[in-house]
Structure 1
Amino acid sequence: MAARGTPSPLRPGRGVLFLIAVFFVTSGLVRMGDGVAFAVAKEIPDFSVRDSGPCTPAPDLAAALEAVRKRDAELDAQAAALEKRSRALDLAEVELSRQIALLNEAQADLRRVVSVAEKAAEDDVSRLTAVYEKMKPKDAARLFEAMAPDFAAGFLARMRPEAAAEVLAGLTPEVAYSISVVVAGRNAAAPAR
């Protein structure tokens, strides 16, 4: 006998009966489900596939499909036009870059020419100023009398002060005054510091 508090072992044959009962219940459920499936299948209409040629879409679907094809063709045409324009812009950009390079080159050449011309003009004016300084003041004064006051003022402003003073002293007072006014007014418009 089993002691109190411990479960009693099953009697032989009871476990086998329980297992057989479970098999019977499962078999019944399967058979009952089979009958339900059969009944449901009888109620559903026939969906058999008929061979009626290629599937044709409904008229609404055909119109929508045609609209999509048309829009796709329009988008393709727009994309091609944009691509063509992009290539044209790329070519124009290359040509513009080439033209800018040529313009920069021409501008640099022009600067060199202007620089050479300015230096040559400056050298000529400096040489002529030196000649006027070395002339007798009386002879230089006669030349300065014949010059326009603006032109004469440019040479007098470049001359050494002593030589310029001797030339001015040999001029008539009216000519000396007009040249002095031009020299004094040259920097009148310059900003004061």
Structure 2
Amino acid sequence: MSKPLLPVLTLMFALPAAALLWKGQDIASSFAAVAAAPEDLLEGCRDVPEAVALAEELRDRALRIERYMQDIDARKAELATAEATLSERLKELRAQKDKLGAVRAGDTEAVRTDIDRLIAVYDQMKPAEAAAVLTNLPADFAAEILMRVRPETGARIIAAVEPRQAALLTAQMGARSVRTP
């Protein structure tokens, strides 16, 4: 006989909860209402110790649930604050990155302009004079200059360089070509 009673009791408790959810009411406030007024639950049942104990247990659970809900709300607020802070920091970092990229682009353009001027100077020099200067420069830098001057000027400069130094510069030029596809 208790088996048909269980589904009926389940429906009695589940339907009001579902109705609250359906209406969009705040469940925490419903628990708070139960916790605030346990006397209404006990009306006419004060002489039954099980009912009193159950009412107290329900009140305690409602209070715990209310505290949990408050903790969850506080954590939500903390998360929202942290998210806003992170979003602002991300915007700042992106702005700094864009600014740094613009500075680097300006620096790169300035370096290119300087290199173009240097190459123009070597193009205008006599091959023997350019060869004398290039032999005193680091091999990779000299090879870079030779790679950028006009081919006929580069050929005359290499011809004016000592054969061992010319071989070294040619090897550097070849290595540079292999490194940069």
TM-score normalised to structure 2 length: 0.73
Letter in 1 for 2:96: A
Is 2:158 the counterpart of 1:149?
Answer: no
Shift of 1:175: 1.1
Which runs of 4 or more aligned residues in structure 1 lie more than 6 Å from their structure 2 counterparts after TM superposition?
none
Structure 1 segments unaligned to the other structure (5+ residues): 1-52
Whether contact under 8 Å (2:144, 2:173) holds in the other structure is: yes
What letter is aligned with 2:155?
Answer: A
Map 1:1-193; keep pairs closer than 5 Å.
56-189=46-179
Q: Deviation digits for residues 109-157 of structure 1, max 9, x if unmatched?
A: 0000000000000000010011011011111110000011101011111
Query: How far apart are 1:188 and its partner, in Å?
Result: 2.4
Q: What is the TM-score with the length of structure 1 in the denominator?
A: 0.69
User: Percent identity between the aligned chains?
Assistant: 30
- Displacement, 1:54? 6.4
Which structure's CA Rg is the greater one? 1
CA deviations over 1:68-103 (Å, ceiling 9, x no partner):
111111111111011001001101111111001000
Alignment check: 8 A CA contact 2:142 2:169 kept: yes
Question: Alpha carbon RMSD of aligned pairs, Å?
Answer: 1.6
| Equivalent residue pairs, number | 139
State the alpha-carbon separation in 2 of the partners of residues 144 and 184 from structure 1: 17
| Match in the other structure for 2:33 | none
Q: Greater share of helix residues, 1 or 2?
A: 2
Relative to structure 1, the CA distance from residue 78 to residue 134 in structure 2 (aligned partners, 3 Å threshold; closer, same or farther) is same
C-alpha separation in 2, matches of 1:154 and 1:190: 12
Give 1:56 shift.
Answer: 1.6
Question: In structure 2, what is the equivalent of residue 30 of structure 1?
Answer: none
